[in-house]
Amino acid sequence: MPENITLEKNRITESQYTEEIDEEYAGAESGGDEISDMESTMTDEATVAEAETLEEAEVADHEEDASSSGETVAEEKMLEMPEYGMEGAPTISMDGMEIEPIEGFDETILDMNRDEVATGVDENRLLDAWYAEFADPVTSALIQQQPGLAQTVAEVVIGRDDRVRITNTRAYPWRCICSLLITARDNSRWIGTGWLCGPGTVITAGHVVYMHRHGGWARRIEVIPGRNAASRPFGSVTVTHLRSVKGWTRKRKRSHDYGAIILPSSNKYGNRLGYFGFANLSFFSLMGLKVNLSGYPGDKPAGTQWWHARRIKFVTPRTLVYNIDTAGGQSGSPVWRLRKGKRHAVGIHTNGSTAGNSATRITRPVYKNIKKWKKIGA
C-alpha cells in the first residue's frame, strides 16, 4: 500500500441538496452498507410533511428536466471555471482550438460517421465498474478470463481504433484525470476513471461509487491522478468518502448515473494539479459540439491514459451520445469542451454500445450537485 494513503473514519451521512427528489444528495463516508433512513428518525407529523414535500419535488422534477434539456438555459451563466493549480498552465496557446492538440490524431474523423471509419491482483484482468452494475456474473467471469471480449459488451471502440495514448500525464489537463482502483463492499475489485472538479473533489460515474449488485457503497477507492502505467507521478490516496444521488442509489436510474469522491484534507490534489471547469449547456450548444474524452481503458496496458475526440451526435434531456472510442475502465471519464483555452466538462462518461457511447449530461441539477460537492472538498 502506498505510503501516502489516508483512510478516513467510517461513518455514513446524508443530506438534501436540491429541489429534485431524484437529484437529492446521497452520501457515504466509508461506503456504508446502506443510506441512512431519514424517515425512520422523524415523527409521524414530520414524515407526512416530508412526504408532501417530496411529492411536490417530484412535480418539480419533470419541470426541471424539461427546462434543463432545452434552449432556455443561458449557457454561459451556468459555467464553473477551471484552474491550473500550482503545477501551472499549459505552455502552448489553446486559443481557437476545440480539441486537444494530440500528435498523430487524424482530425478528419471528427466529421465522419461510424461506417466511414469502420475498417498480486492482475490489474490487466480487473473489469470496469460497469460490469459490476449491469453485466450478469457469468459474463463478468468470462471476460475476466478473456479480456478481449470486453469490447463486445460495454463501452466500445466504434470502427477503427483511433485512440491516442497520453504519455505526458504530468501536464494539464491530463494530470487532473484519475485512475481509480475500486474495492466493492463484497471485496471484489474493479477499475474506473474520475476527474478533478475542485481542490478535493473527483467526479465519476454513479456505478463507480455505488454498486447495487456488490453491496452498495464501495468499501474504498484508490485515486491515482495523472497515472502513467506503473508511474504515479503525484502518488495516490485511498478514499472512503463518497457521494451520489438518490436517483442512482435508490432507483438505479441510468439517467442519474453520476457521483463524487471527496478527498481527505491532507490530499487536496486540485490545489496543486488544477481541475476542470464544468458547464450546463443548451441543446443547441451541445448538438454537433466537438468534445474530448480521456481515461483509463482496461483493454490497454494497465494504468495508461488514452484520449479520443468526436462530435456529439445525439443530445437527450439526460444524456450525450457520441462515437468517441472508449473501453471498459473509462466509466467516469470527463467529456469536455475546449474553447478559448478553457476546458469545461459537459458530461460524465458512463457506458456505450456500437450505436454510440454515452455520458450523463451535466444538466442544471447535475451542475448544482457537482458545484456543491466541489464546495465540500474545497
The answer for residues whose C-beta is within 8 angstroms of residue 67's C-beta and 6 or more apart is 73, 364
For residue 187, is it within any domain? Answer: yes
Is the pLDDT score of 145 beyond 60? no
Confirm whether 62 is a catalytic residue.
no
13-24: pLDDT as tens digits: 333 333 345 677
Range with the largest mean pLDDT of 59-68, 239-248, 290-299 = 239-248
For residue 269, is it within any domain? Answer: yes
Give me the residue label for grid cell 427528489.
21
Q: What's the domain range around 199?
A: 21-39+71-119+123-376
Q: Enumerate the β-bridge partners of residue 324.
A: none
Question: Mean pLDDT over residues 1-17, rounded?
Answer: 34
Confirm whether 207 is a catalytic residue.
yes
The answer for residues whose C-beta is within 8 angstroms of residue 194's C-beta and 6 or more apart is 177, 178, 180, 202, 203, 204, 208, 223, 261, 332
For residue 56, is it within any domain? Answer: no
Q: Enumerate the β-bridge partners of residue 348.
A: 334, 360
For residue 277, is it within any domain? Answer: yes
Q: Is 371 helix (H, G, I), strand (E, B) or coil?
A: helix
For residue 343, is it within any domain? Answer: yes
For residue 61, is it within any domain? Answer: no
Q: Which carries the bigger pLDDT value, residue 147 or residue 74?
A: 147
Q: Is 214 helix (H, G, I), strand (E, B) or coil?
A: helix
Q: How would DSSP label each residue in 243-304? A: EEEHHHHTT--GGG--EEEEPPGGG-HHHHH-B-EEE---HHHHTT-EEEEEE--TTSSTT-
Find the range with the poorest average confidence among 6-15, 95-104, 341-350: 6-15
Catalytic residue among 69, 179, 188, 207: 207
The CATH number given to whatever domain includes residue 270 is 2.40.10.120
What single DSSP character describes residue 140? H
CB 297 within 8 A of CB 306: yes
Structurally, the chain folds into a number of domains equal to: 1
For residue 9, is it within any domain? Answer: no
pTM metric for this prediction: 0.73
Catalytic residue among 255, 331, 333, 358: 331
